Chains A and B, each alone.
Chain A
């Protein structure tokens, strides 16, 4: 039905995939201990939220039974391993190539799609801009981390390959446009740009959870989803690298200033 990109670790091939399909899958970025750490930390955070009734049961872009797609916002505050993802060198390569530098981290959120999760609504991430979208290309970029395998059956994010070229949001009568799953082995980084139509897939398995962590980056004129200055645990900026501080908006020019100057 659709052509889809080959998995590739080559940056130029990945950028070509982004241009043609709107996304690319980079395999084996997280391996071994680092993948295990990220997975443990995410499932622990999700468990902590459930035990304390802190989880968000419904979200506008999900449908179906509350709780079948557990969302965790601001996971940057939950464990240092997520800091490593937010500023991962492979993610930064794509970020610099697609959006340029400096850029901002708008959010670092996760979802865990449980058996029975019916999936979510088709949307593009830069819809807030209103139409027409700029001709200058994508204004945001997602680097999604496959913490579990992303498969056809377990709720892998589904996309309309090439829809970024239409350069417009999904209209209400296009919600059922055919999609394909962005399948990827655990440890992959799935890069997709902000004009690509996508949605959470349905998890039709009996017993598999599908966890993904989504790093949402934008150009610097766009307001982040998180007000990091209120919501982030202090040590992230206390110990943050220049890259991290730039992504969070502590190293600023023209926006986000304090007393007319960059906060740090």
Chain B
């Protein structure tokens, strides 16, 4: 990704399509680590919360959700902070962004779709002119239409208002296709839904690393959520990305020192 032509190509894809797929970036070893850590995360979630089903998100319990991945295993923190992922985020949001959330979604056979949405439309008032959020979706399995890959509405990252979403949007969605070990970088404005897993046998594991512009409130309060020893072990940049400083939305006031008349 440091290779400039590649970076340019990604930027062009993100601009044109609202997503790009970066194939096969995880080593076999890291893929295995992530899968094993996710298994432990699922077990831990069942133990702590009693269920991995979030009824407000998913229509049935065949959709497994695991919250708070960065607290669960080092491999998840590594994924969040990987330079290839952060490069894709920066290409879209710009240099000032935060880690908002990192969750897993496992579509077991029989799992069904969420409601169609764009991440940005859920929280930010219209018009949606710029990308203020991005999902880096880590594929831990080959994902495709048959096993519940995320489905997107082509071109919808250009919608400025909800009125532009067509009535039959759902039937126009297309499933992402990517191999295990790839990531899909998805603009926060792209309308999408989880697919239904009709494979009968395969489970489809995806991790959603969600980043947002630094003036937006993070979905997760990392100050309260990340264990103190983990927070203490983070380097300066990682702490900033998690928003673990006493100061919050104050960057612009500091930058305004460059206003005319100031020195």
* Residues on A facing B (Cβ under 8 Å): 59-61, 63, 104, 106, 121, 123, 127-130, 132, 134-136, 139, 172, 175, 220-227, 229-231, 249, 252, 254-260, 263
Asked if A258 and B215 make an inter-chain contact with CB atoms under 8 angstroms apart, the answer reads: no
Q: Does B243 contact A (CB under 8 A)?
A: yes
Asked if A129 and B215 make an inter-chain contact with CB atoms under 8 angstroms apart, the answer reads: yes
- Across the interface, A223 reaches (CB within 8 A) one of B67, B215, B246, namely B215
Asked if A254 and B249 make an inter-chain contact with CB atoms under 8 angstroms apart, the answer reads: no
Known: A229-B224, A256-B220, A260-B67. Contact between A127 and B260, CB under 8 A?
no
Q: Which of B118-126, B188-196, B201-209 contacts A (4 or more CB under 8 A)?
A: B118-126
Please report the C-alpha to C-alpha distance between residue A224 and residue B257 in the assembled complex, in whole angstroms.
21
- Across the interface, B247 reaches (CB within 8 A) one of A104, A225, A249, A260, namely A225
Please report the C-alpha to C-alpha distance between residue A222 and residue B220 in the assembled complex, in whole angstroms.
13
- For window 227-263 of chain B, which residues contact chain A by CB distance below 8 Å? 243-257, 259-262
Point out the residues of chain B lying under 8 angstroms from A59, CB to CB: 253
How many interface residues does chain B have, given as a range?
35 or more
Please report the C-alpha to C-alpha distance between residue A229 and residue B242 in the assembled complex, in whole angstroms.
13
Q: From residue A55, how far is it (CB to closest CB) to chain B in Å? A: 17
Top 10 A-B pairs, shortest CB-CB distance: A260-B67, A134-B125, A229-B223, A223-B249, A136-B125, A231-B246, A128-B215, A60-B257, A221-B123, A255-B217
Q: Does B43 contact A (CB under 8 A)?
A: no
Q: From residue A122, how far is it (CB to closest CB) to chain B in Å? A: 9
Please report the C-alpha to C-alpha distance between residue A221 and residue B219 in the assembled complex, in whole angstroms.
9
Point out the residues of chain B lying under 8 angstroms from A252, CB to CB: 221
Q: Does B214 contact A (CB under 8 A)?
A: yes
Residue of A nearest to B250 (CB): A225
Please report the C-alpha to C-alpha distance between residue A225 and residue B248 in the assembled complex, in whole angstroms.
4
Asked if B126 and A135 make an inter-chain contact with CB atoms under 8 angstroms apart, the answer reads: yes
Q: Which of B68, B217, B224, B254 has the most CB of A within 10 A?
A: B217
Point out the residues of chain A lying under 8 angstroms from B251, CB to CB: 128
**21 interchain pairs, CB-CB under 8 A:** A63-B261, A106-B249, A121-B259, A123-B256, A128-B215, A222-B217, A223-B214, A225-B249, A225-B250, A227-B244, A227-B245, A227-B247, A230-B246, A249-B217, A255-B123, A256-B217, A257-B67, A257-B225, A258-B221, A260-B49, A260-B103
Asked if A258 and B224 make an inter-chain contact with CB atoms under 8 angstroms apart, the answer reads: yes
Point out the residues of chain A lying under 8 angstroms from B65, CB to CB: 260
Point out the residues of chain B lying under 8 angstroms from A130, CB to CB: 130
Point out the residues of chain A lying under 8 angstroms from B130, CB to CB: 130
- For window 37-88 of chain B, which residues contact chain A by CB distance below 8 Å? 48-49, 54, 65, 67-68
Q: Does B91 contact A (CB under 8 A)?
A: no
Please report the C-alpha to C-alpha distance between residue A256 and residue B248 in the assembled complex, in whole angstroms.
13
Q: Does B129 contact A (CB under 8 A)?
A: yes
Q: From residue A176, how far is it (CB to closest CB) to chain B in Å? A: 10
Asked if A263 and B221 make an inter-chain contact with CB atoms under 8 angstroms apart, the answer reads: yes
- Across the interface, B123 reaches (CB within 8 A) one of A175, A254, A259, namely A254
Point out the residues of chain A lying under 8 angstroms from B173, CB to CB: none
Point out the residues of chain B lying under 8 angstroms from A61, CB to CB: 253, 256
Residue of A nearest to B128 (CB): A134
Q: From residue A220, how far is it (CB to closest CB) to chain B in Å? A: 7
Q: From residue B102, how far is it (CB to closest CB) to chain A in Å? A: 12
Please report the C-alpha to C-alpha distance between residue A229 and residue B224 in the assembled complex, in whole angstroms.
7
Asked if A249 and B262 make an inter-chain contact with CB atoms under 8 angstroms apart, the answer reads: no
Starting from the known contacts A225-B250, A227-B223, 7 additional A-B residue pairs (CB-CB under 8 Å) come to A60-B253, A121-B256, A172-B260, A175-B259, A256-B221, A260-B49, A260-B65
Q: Which of B98, B218, B245, B252 has the most CB of A within 10 A?
A: B252
Known: A172-B259, A229-B224. Contact between A223 and B126, CB under 8 A?
no
Known: A223-B218, A258-B220. Contact between A175 and B261, CB under 8 A?
yes
Q: From residue B238, how far is it (CB to closest CB) to chain A in Å? A: 16
Asked if A222 and B215 make an inter-chain contact with CB atoms under 8 angstroms apart, the answer reads: yes
Asked if B68 and A260 make an inter-chain contact with CB atoms under 8 angstroms apart, the answer reads: yes
Residue of B nearest to A226 (CB): B248
Q: Which of B65, B98, B218, B247 has the most CB of A within 10 A?
A: B247
Point out the residues of chain A lying under 8 angstroms from B214, CB to CB: 223
Residue of B nearest to A231 (CB): B246
Residue of B nearest to A133 (CB): B125
Q: From residue B25, how far is it (CB to closest CB) to chain A in Å? A: 28
Please report the C-alpha to C-alpha distance between residue A227 and residue B257 in the assembled complex, in whole angstroms.
22
Q: From residue A103, how far is it (CB to closest CB) to chain B in Å? A: 12
Q: From residue A233, how far is it (CB to closest CB) to chain B in Å? A: 12
- Across the interface, B225 reaches (CB within 8 A) one of A139, A220, A258, namely A258
Q: Does B216 contact A (CB under 8 A)?
A: yes
Asked if B125 and A60 make an inter-chain contact with CB atoms under 8 angstroms apart, the answer reads: no
